[in-house]
Chains A and B, each alone.
Chain A
Amino acid sequence: MMAYFDPLSVILLMPLVAAVVLAAIPDYRISARVNVGASFLAFAASIGFFVVPRVSGPYFLIDDLNIVFIVLNSFVGFTTSIFSASYIAHEMETGRLTPAFLRFYHAMFQILMFGMTLALSANNIGLMWVAVELATLTTVLMVGMYRTHAAIEAAWKYFILGSVGIALALFGTILVYTAARPVVGEGPQGMVWTVLMAHVAAFDPSIMNIAFVFLLLGYGTKTGLVPLHAWLPDAHAEGPTPISAVLSGLLLNVALYALLRFKMLFAANAHVMAPGPLMAGMGLASVIFAAFMLYPRKDIKRMFAYSSIEHMGIIVFAFGMGGALANFAGLLHMVMHSLTKSAIFFTVGHIAQVKGTQKIAKIRGLTESHPLLGWGLVLGVVAIAGAPPFGIFMSEFLVVSSTFARAPWLAVPLVLGLLIAFGALLLRLHEMAFGEPEGSAAPSQASYIPLFIHLGIVLLAGILIPGAVVAWFQHVATLLG
């Protein structure tokens, strides 16, 4: 049975092996390359999912939905590892990180990739919970890596809020098992998602209702939904920038994926309260809240962290609305947001390094002093703000138009939130990118390849999405119900 190529074991085992190896390599130049190599192999293996048969066992499940997440995850993991190599080279030169920390950092990066892949490929809700916890723990350690007060505070806050979140999610998981037990029977079967899905119609709806509230609060904390978002801006602002890119681009998606799996489960039982309205409500609240919070920001990474809250809000809103079109838009928006936001963090990382500060007020005239970085930032922010012709415009347009068709009174606050955020982002962008250059004009040894690959894909998606991708997403959108 295992005679053919098995991408799942490659993408799960590769990071673990790489973590052990990376923890042992003292020279950061070599370890950065090994990190890139391991991430590339994981990405290459994830492509293999398109050709090999689907997996559906007691522990692992590969279906059309999570292939999208896994491929996106390993692709952004790969490009981030390239960015990380040039980022840490600078950190080593300035002495902000020591070689010992770097070994730890690289090992943690791979363990994080392992945790996320495990969560995305798990067919067992208990295993999924453990994997999300693992991914959270590794990011907590990395957020606190600079050991400044602000970094430790951010890590602590993330730790406490994240722990409460996963604790609530576990209680929800236990409740789902309790509801399943009389129908499915005792033992491991009661936690296998595909088994639950097949029998969910017979579950006790009153237990399921309570379970959903706990799961939404639990995984919603990790997704960064308002009012459970307090950890997110700090964690993004204080950690190393490659981690901010992975947090925003990937880890939020993993929590979202967990929410989606449970949403599918709950939606399949007609007597349980519909999960959609709660999700849509929290999503909309996140969009509006984050849009207003974008204006007073003084720290560049913190600003983009709030922008992540806004976009996760849009995505959760779209999935909460449900239906083929809104799900399609939510899925597309999630992919576009991951690519664009990580690209922005790539530029922001280099900008903060050359300018020596993350304060927006001290970053001026980037397009003159650092044309490539400056224009990279301009393109990224224009894309994330939702201006045409980028892919985010397309997905936001689809979200808004599908909402107008079904619930116009919800579309008005949504559009308002989008416009307010648009204004805030462009205002700050104008200050940073144009005008008299300020601060250091030292050239940056940035790697621009990951940045422009991401922006290129986002631009392409805005102009023309290949038919095969559209068909795939449409198929997944119908799966999501």
Chain B
Amino acid sequence: MTSLSFDIAHALAGALILSSFMMLYQDRLSALINLFAVQAVILSFSVAWQAFIQDAPHLYITAFIAVLFKALVIPLALHRMIVRLGIHREIETVIGIGMTMMAGMGLVALSLSLILDVASQSDPLAREDLAFALAVILLGLLMMVTRRNAVSQVVGFMSLENGLVFAATGAQGMPFVVEISVAFSILIAFIVIGIFLFRIRERFDTVDLRALDHFRGERFSPGDGPSGAALPVLDRSRGAGRGR
């Protein structure tokens, strides 16, 4: 392996983490979705580069899926959806951006020290890919826990999944990479369709998960008959971000 191909792989992995950080502090939904599309493009470049240096043509399929599905289809669908939901202007974070960034840095440091410490027999590229991938995964998780909005949680999950695809392609010769990326695409499509369907059926007036928390516990159950139609969440105004 030449040092140039090593450097390019590294640069792409670094860009992936950088885009994760940008998503962490981006507090507008439409910008967040655009950033996710950017991350998906970086991912597909990175996967295509792996396909090239590993001489593994099937990885080009994974790269193609990433660019088509995650950089185009999903972002477009999400953009349409947030406009319809009337939440395209805002996003709310539970803890402040400063704290989130600090936590993110801590997680990156953790994953680097965890994986790089491993006295690995595997080659340095695979090992460092794993470290970067774990960082992206943990940043995605962090985003999921710091956001209260269902759409931004889904974006967090998808960026977590980008880390997984990155890890899978970095492990040389791993079987099922294409199948796994397809399986994940189906999963994500389900999630997105799910939000969208619930909206169409007018069950949610908000996708703010704090409104959902209202139904935790045992106040309503299907056994109570048609009470599900008269739940107070329907009275909540549109848009997210108004907590109790």
Contacts and interface: CB of A to CB of B under 8 A. Distances in A.
* Most B CB within 10 A of own CB, among A140, A167, A210: A167
B172 interface: yes
B85 to A, nearest CB: 15
A170 B115 CA distance: 17
B223 interface: yes
B203 interface: yes
Contacts of B174: 174, 177, 190-191
A438 to B, nearest CB: 14
Interface stretch (A180-188, A412-420, A457-465): A180-188
Interface stretch (B8-16, B91-99, B120-128): B120-128
Contacts of B191: 159, 163
Contacts of A124: 175
A150 B215 contact: yes
Interface in B110-162: 114-115, 117-122, 126, 130, 133-134, 137, 141, 144, 150, 153, 157, 160-161
Interface stretch (B29-37, B67-75, B225-233): B225-233
Interface stretch (A104-112, A295-303, A325-333, A398-406): A295-303
Contacts of B126: 178, 181
Interface stretch (B38-46, B101-109, B163-171): B163-171
Contacts of B221: 150, 237-238, 299, 301, 357-359
B6 interface: no
Contact of A297 (B163, B168, B198, B218): B218
Nearest to B188: A163
Given A206-B119, A299-B221, A358-B223, A149 B179 contact: no
B107 to A, nearest CB: 14
A161 to B, nearest CB: 10
A130 interface: yes
A206 B117 contact: yes
A20 B114 CA distance: 47
Contacts of A298: 218
B187 A163 contact: yes
* Most B CB within 10 A of own CB, among A140, A150, A301: A150
Nearest to A94: B225
B176 A191 contact: yes
Contacts of B141: 164
Contact of A204 (B118, B180, B190): B118
Contact of B220 (A96, A150, A301): A150
Interface in A272-305: 297-299, 301-302
B222 A238 contact: yes
A34 B153 CA distance: 40
A264 B215 CA distance: 41
What's the dominant secondary structure at chain A's contact region?
helix
B214 to A, nearest CB: 9
B57 interface: no
Interface residues of A, number: 57
Interface string A230-263: 0000100110000000000000000000000000
B173 interface: yes
Nearest to B129: A178
B86 interface: no
Contact of B175 (A147, A170, A188): A188
Nearest to B183: A130
Contacts of A177: 171, 174
B134 A171 contact: yes
Contact of A182 (B114, B117, B122, B176): B122
Interface string A345-364: 00000001001111100000
B119 A130 contact: no
Contacts of B167: 171, 174
Nearest to A150: B220
A126 B180 CA distance: 8
27 contacts: A96-B222, A124-B175, A126-B179, A147-B201, A150-B222, A150-B228, A151-B228, A152-B203, A157-B212, A159-B190, A160-B153, A163-B187, A167-B160, A167-B164, A170-B168, A171-B137, A174-B168, A177-B171, A178-B130, A190-B173, A204-B118, A204-B122, A238-B222, A356-B225, A358-B222, A359-B218, A359-B221
Interface of A: 96, 124, 126-127, 129-130, 133, 137, 140, 144, 146-153, 155-157, 159-160, 163-164, 167, 170-171, 174-175, 177-178, 181-182, 186-188, 190-191, 204, 206-207, 210, 234, 237-238, 297-299, 301-302, 352, 355-359
Given A149-B233, A204-B120, A210-B114, 8 more contacts: A140-B190, A146-B228, A147-B201, A149-B228, A160-B144, A174-B174, A206-B118, A358-B221
